Structure 1
Amino acid sequence: MTKVLIVDDEKSIRLTLREMLRKNGYEAEMAEDVASALKKLDEQEFDVVMTDIVMPKVSGLELLKAIRERCRSVQILIMTGDPSVETASQALHHGANDYLIKPIVKEDLLKAVGHASEIKALSDQKKRLELENQLYQKNLERIIEQKTLDLQNTMESIISLLSTVVEVRDPYTAGHQRRVGNLSAAMARKMGLKEDTIKMLRIIGYIHDIGKIEVPAEILSKPGKLSEVEFMLIKNHCTTGYNMLNEVNLPKIIGETIYQHHERCDGSGYPRGLKDEEISTEAHILMVADVVEAMMSHRPYRPALGLAAALGEISSGRGVRYRNDIVTACESLFLEDHYEIEDTVYHTTFPVV
């Protein structure tokens, strides 16, 4: 039921209007001045306020302004015995929705209040829908956050599993992928790359040798020099890794970077002989990290060569096999920042690509 507040300093008018409204299905209350009207508005909610303009002490226009400071949705009808353009203009300027001319005719009253009631109902409905939409959005955000977390956990589990599979078959290089992933991330951060790129490089490094799952274990752990056929099988791990990851719902950059991590700037790498800009920045970083970590670590066919030898290799290949800025970042990381190769597994959120 629409609730109306009638504000007028003349009691007879208040009573007459209240009676008209109540007989036509409205709930109506009265106030004799602005102060008592504001008090009622503080205590109750009204859909429509009808106020006279000329009243003792404080005018109806002041009441109008006070109501609008509190609420924009209450419908306000001005009652006036002076139906001038100026009066109407002032009322509308201060936020009135309509005005009635005294003496008020019943039909005009019911028409104006009915129209105001409909507008207020529509305004209330709009507010409810907006609130429902806000609640829906918040609930949807919570669902998306949970689904994203579940996906992150699944992706992390897949990465961990893939990394472990390689290490089980090639125990002599256990930890190599983690160390390369961590070094790649550190180099990317040194170069000022975006956080998503840093996270992605760490993940790619953790599984960059996944293709070795297809290489016979005896070749992976062979202490002597590999034959040409055996070396060809080893070289094929880039293509195998790429093909495997293309079958999994992972970002394409992962498989492509693994495919490219043995390429070289001058085209002397494998498996496709890519050059310079044909190779992604991620792959350029990963190839340098892979070379440095491999030379610093023990292998079945040789002992660890150390940091100096590893940096010597990338320095001698600067601008030829390896991209100049990436070599510089790697050298700075070790020589200035005193970076130490680390075997830690970092659990990181999966970047959005």
Structure 2
Amino acid sequence: MDDVLLNRREPFNNSIYIYTMERLLHVVQELSATRDLTDVMDIVRHSVRDLTGSDGATFVLRENNFCYYAEEDAISPLWKGGRFPMESCISGWVMMNQKPAVIEDIFADSRIPIDVYKKTFVKSLAMVPIKTNDPIGAIGCYWSENHSATPEQIKVLQVLADTAAIAIDNSHYQSVIAIKARQLEEAMDGTMLAIANIVEHKDLYTSGHQRRVAMISMAVAEEMGWSPDRCETVFRAGIVHDIGKIGIPSELLSKPAKLTPFEFALVKTHPEAGYKILKDIPFFLPTAQIVLQHHERFNGSGYPYGLGRDKILPEAQVVGVADVFESMISHRPYRPALGMEAAMDELLMNRGILYNPDIVDAVVNLVKDKGYRVPE
């Protein structure tokens, strides 16, 4: 049946018509699902030849007053990459007149720039606009012998063009949405950094702690093979994991002595306080849960809820390990920095007890095998 389609020069019979409609439906479904202009052009240029039996196909985009021959699929090269003034080519005529062109003999049609066609195989063509009301391009098919495109072939071309128009619009909107989403994301990231700075201004001894925890968390997540999005989530959680400390008196955060049981109980409220700050902001929802759980421990001995093992989000477990690791290698009001070796000993000694063994192994691989050093 493919051979029949590819060599079609006669009006459709019933079996060819049914097969063509099935193929056309498949192509329309493909176009409806794509959100990338390059994919749209690839699908169209291949399917045009298949569905019309032509020897070549072009996908033309309008660029102001020029026709840009963006893609092609043909038995020999046509004009891919070329730009021609609208008034000098048939694709421009199709767009300006907002209707198809069917030319059985290009050498007998005054709309054709003969010099441009002389070096090609083209003897006849059909072309339709992409968007009939306000064309943004055109789709053309070409034959190496004189051939008058059938009404059915023109209908097929126009269906492809109309569907391509929708797909192009979708790709444009998708790009705009992606840009806006990224701008919003950057704005929210800026907000997170500002919040983190507020917390750290309350506790100058731990200045930079949240940023370093975020960077360690991301490095560990990457070492574990997590996706970029998941690594980014862990980083964001690290940046604000202590946001709940904003409600704790500064004198407790910077106290140069061991906290009393009452004082420690007050400090232990910061995961829940942080969660309450973040939970009602949709952008921060995954982060809020990680912040809530970052002091839970693998064996259920942590706080605030005593969760254990798979009841704790893996992201929260990563941030929790990074928090312990960074705290031990850094100076604190009540003690000097304990150093990298002590931090590694703590993780290894409590591997599978307080800390997820897979996460501990990732830290060990980073530090001992890959020479990872915590950023200043």
TM-score, L = length of structure 2: 0.60
Measure the CA separation in 1 of the matches of 2:284 and 2:243. Answer: 16
Runs (4+) of structure 1 moved beyond 3 Å?
41-45, 70-73, 94-98, 119-132
Q: Structure 2: which 5+ residue stretches go unaligned? A: 1-102, 114-121, 129-145
Alignment of 1:274-285 (within 5 A): 274-285=307-318
The one-letter amino acid paired with 2:108 is K
What is the root-mean-square deviation of aligned Cα atoms in Å? 2.9
Alignment of 1:173-322 (within 5 A): 173-322=206-355
Residue 330 of structure 1, aligned match among 352, 355, 363: 363
- Closer/same/farther in 2, CA of residues 184 and 121 from structure 1, 3 Å limit: closer
Q: Does the alignment pair 1:39 with 2:107?
A: yes
The one-letter amino acid paired with 1:71 is A
- Closer/same/farther in 2, CA of residues 194 and 122 from structure 1, 3 Å limit: closer
SS at match of 2:282: coil
The one-letter amino acid paired with 2:194 is L
SS at match of 1:71: strand
Greater shift after overlay, 294-303 or 332-341?
332-341
- Quote how far apart the aligned CAs of 1:39 are: 1.5
- Closer/same/farther in 2, CA of residues 127 and 198 from structure 1, 3 Å limit: closer
- Closer/same/farther in 2, CA of residues 97 and 179 from structure 1, 3 Å limit: closer
The answer as to whether partners of 2:126 and 2:149 remain within 8 angstroms in 1 is no
Corresponding position of 2:57: none
Structure with bigger gyration radius: 1
SS at match of 2:283: coil
- Quote how far apart the aligned CAs of 1:248 are: 1.7
The one-letter amino acid paired with 1:137 is N
The answer as to whether partners of 2:278 and 2:284 remain within 8 angstroms in 1 is no
- Quote how far apart the aligned CAs of 1:260 are: 0.8
Deviations 1:90-132 (A, max 9, x none): xxxx98788xxxxxxxxxxxxxxxxx5xx79867865664464
Corresponding position of 2:199: 166
- Closer/same/farther in 2, CA of residues 120 and 186 from structure 1, 3 Å limit: closer
Deviations 1:208-232 (A, max 9, x none): 0000001011111111111111101
Q: Does the alignment pair 1:71 with 2:126?
A: yes
SS at match of 1:320: coil
- Quote how far apart the aligned CAs of 1:146 are: 2.8
Alignment of 1:79-158 (within 5 A): 126=159, 129-130=162-163, 132-158=165-191
Q: Structure 1: which 5+ residue stretches go unaligned? A: 1-30, 46-65, 74-93, 99-115, 344-353
- Closer/same/farther in 2, CA of residues 136 and 311 from structure 1, 3 Å limit: same
- Quote how far apart the aligned CAs of 1:136 are: 2.7
- Quote how far apart the aligned CAs of 1:157 are: 1.3
- Closer/same/farther in 2, CA of residues 120 and 293 from structure 1, 3 Å limit: closer
- Closer/same/farther in 2, CA of residues 97 and 333 from structure 1, 3 Å limit: closer
TM-score, L = length of structure 1: 0.64
* Aligned-pair identity (%): 35
- Quote how far apart the aligned CAs of 1:145 are: 2.9
Q: Does the alignment pair 1:342 with 2:342?
A: no
- Closer/same/farther in 2, CA of residues 207 and 97 from structure 1, 3 Å limit: closer
Measure the CA separation in 2 of the matches of 1:291 and 1:147. Answer: 36
- Quote how far apart the aligned CAs of 1:253 are: 2.0
The one-letter amino acid paired with 1:157 is G
Deviations 1:168-189 (A, max 9, x none): 1111100000111101111111
The answer as to whether partners of 2:297 and 2:306 remain within 8 angstroms in 1 is yes
- Closer/same/farther in 2, CA of residues 146 and 244 from structure 1, 3 Å limit: same
- Quote how far apart the aligned CAs of 1:265 are: 1.0
Measure the CA separation in 2 of the matches of 1:161 and 1:246. Answer: 18
